[in-house]
Structure 1
Amino acid sequence: MDSQSGGEAPALDGFPLKHSNTLTNRQRGNEVSALPATLDRNSFPMFLSLPALSIHQLAAQGELVQLKEHLKKGENLVNKPDERGFTPLIWAAAFGEIETVRHLLEWGADPHALAKERESALALASMGGYTDIVTLLLDRDVDINTYDWNGGTPLLYAVRGNHVKCVEALLAGGADLTEEADSGYTPMDLAVALGHKKVQQVIESHILKLFRNKRRKK
């Protein structure tokens, strides 16, 4: 869990929106979460020299040259899911590999794909705070309010991670502030409970803007 969330209220101890231990949070200035051993670069420095990496590992590592060659070996590999249902695009988005995400989209990767528990590239990029990837995916008209197995939406994950810029991008893209996780928390509820002041200010400013626009239309 991010160090920024360390002061959250005890009532949130059981809150289901937790960072998956299969993904990294290696974004600017944030703590690195636990990774599966096969993808942990720090613990396994020889990992990158191993032969025959899968397309999913190559996407997660941002190995574009090898990935491109691998994808030439068969049809539909660009959208091939792994055992969790994660496509190469989902892995690249989760690891913050912006250039890999951009190239995969150009090569025909489906930005709307959902994994077995409804994880999406947008939600995992939002969880990691990768605003550039979030913006890229929103430009592809992905479902901004898509929810996963526990009701988590991209906005809820961005709020939980205290990713202010990501929250701004999602709100500007039309993310629904009334969506609740299965625990009953809305994005504002979660921001208040976790003490994320800047995120609260962003949400409050957005609500005020919506209110003003509504009044102008009357």
Structure 2
Amino acid sequence: MKYIFILLILLVGTTSYSQSVFDASRSGDLENLKALYAANPTVVNSADSKGFTPLILAAYNNQTAIVSYLLENGSDVNAKDLSGNTALMGVCFKGNLAIAKMLIDNGANVNQQNFNEATALIYASTFGHTAIAEYLLKNKANTRITDNRGNTALKHAEMQGNSEIIALLKS
């Protein structure tokens, strides 16, 4: 019984501790993130119940300084959430070019597919983020990859009427 009690204390402590890294990453609390990392460097690659890592949350929430810090401290740039999405896919949905460049320049797989077989280029094309699509293409994003419905990035751009991306993908 004594050991079960100790185990429960450790688990509860770990849960709130781990939750803090997600809150810090989401909100841009760099000082808290640094303190959490100093206490336990493995927090940079922890995942919440949805599989979101601190990097995925920071990228999706446009936290440039947090993304930079996480990448400098060993965060897995290609980690996936429970849907197979990466930080790069999230930022291609949201449209932050600076973060997209950081992720790509730090080894993000530009052709990684999620569980719907979509890629970062498909997201950038769907949501009209031309500058990100250009950077993905400069870094060897494959325009021929199709999602689970058989649609390429070009087809998604056409369906959304994103004329700049259509022209880019046709050139």
TM class by shorter chain equals: 0.7 to 0.9
Supply the distance in 2 between the matched residues of 1:65 and 1:105 (Cα, whole angstroms). 16
Q: Which residue of 106, 131, 150 maps to 2:97?
A: 131
1:191 matched residue in structure 2: 157
In the TM superposition, what is the alpha-carbon distance from 1:191 to its structure 2 partner?
1.0
Please state if 1:99 is matched with 2:43: no
1:140 matched residue in structure 2: 106
Question: Structure 2, unaligned stretches of length 5 or more?
Answer: 1-16
TM-score, length of structure 1 as denominator length: 0.68
In the TM superposition, what is the alpha-carbon distance from 1:71 to its structure 2 partner?
2.1
Identity %: 29
- Listed as ranges, the matches of 1:53-72 within 5 Å are 54-72=20-38
Which structure dedicates a bigger proportion of its chain to helix? 2
Please list the CA deviations of residues 192-217 of structure 1 after superposition, one character each: whole Å capped at 9, or x if unmatched.
Answer: 12111111111122xxxxxxxxxxxx
Give 4+ residue runs of structure 1 displaced > 6 Å after superposition: none
1:81 matched residue in structure 2: 47
Number of equivalenced pairs:
155
Supply the distance in 2 between the matched residues of 1:193 and 1:78 (Cα, whole angstroms). 38
1:116 matched residue in structure 2: 82
Question: Structure 1, unaligned stretches of length 5 or more?
Answer: 1-51, 206-218
Paired residue type of 2:167: Q
In the TM superposition, what is the alpha-carbon distance from 1:67 to its structure 2 partner?
1.2
- Listed as ranges, the matches of 1:170-209 within 5 Å are 170-205=136-171
Could you say what secondary structure the match of 1:58 adopts? helix
